[in-house]
Structure 1
Amino acid sequence: MNKQEIENFLKNYHWMINTIKISRETLHEPNSRLTAQYGIEASLPKAQGTTSDPVLSEVVRRNKYWTSVKKYEKKVMEIQSRIHVITDEREYEVLNWILDGKGYRWIARHMGLSETHIRRIKDSIVDKLIKVSQMSQTA
């Protein structure tokens, strides 16, 4: 992983976690409001290039969605498996706020530091996460 990928993972971590959580909750309560068409609607021509089976269309849509959720899970696990390398208290605090979806300005106000200093701390965090990534690739 490179610096840009790790920064994007950190920036997107919050919404990816929420998506995973909501997806897992809805897995247990599927929405089954799809019904077959009867009467005159059943005899009308269907659109070309697609199936007229609404259940199949829903299965295809959900499979695509679950594929993207699996990608989110992989990215989240990559970040979570590397958090242990952040040992400095300020860095750990900044990392947790970033993972909670807070912006640099909000974190700076909360911690009583400048936004520039928060960005430097974030850069230090990313550098440490990159080093762990590089060490795991060479091992």
Structure 2
Amino acid sequence: MQQFLNEQTQAIRSALEGLNPIPRGLWELMRSPVFWLSLWVGFNVAAARLFFGRVLGPVIGLGWACWVWASVLPGSLPEVLLTLGVLLGGTLLLRWGLVSPAGLALRGLRRCPECAEPVRRAARRCRYCGSDLEERRIFR
């Protein structure tokens, strides 16, 4: 009886494997934790880039949002290390001037109030439209 059940189980498994749309190599890959870790990292990077870059970035700046994201996200040691790595990488990108929370501020530029083109912060006249640029002072 046991041999009959084993044969029937094997026949059912082979029939179901023929219906499985996922190839066998991908199925083996999906069993590894590296696959799920890379998928998790990819989704987090995409979500963070979309959310921080288009929603929070222009409003409050990228740095504050990254700290909130880092305080909510981690739950275990690998996640903490990964989050710290992302924050360190983001900090280095900010430091090197490849990205900036205020857009043009780290490159020494600002927008002309008339034509909205980027001009140097020290400029007195816009080179695109010719309008006079008043100097903005924080403390008067």
Compare the two structures and name the one with the higher strand fraction. 2
Query: Greater RCO between the two (CA within 8 Å, min separation 6)?
Result: 1
Compare the two structures and name the one with the higher helix fraction. 1
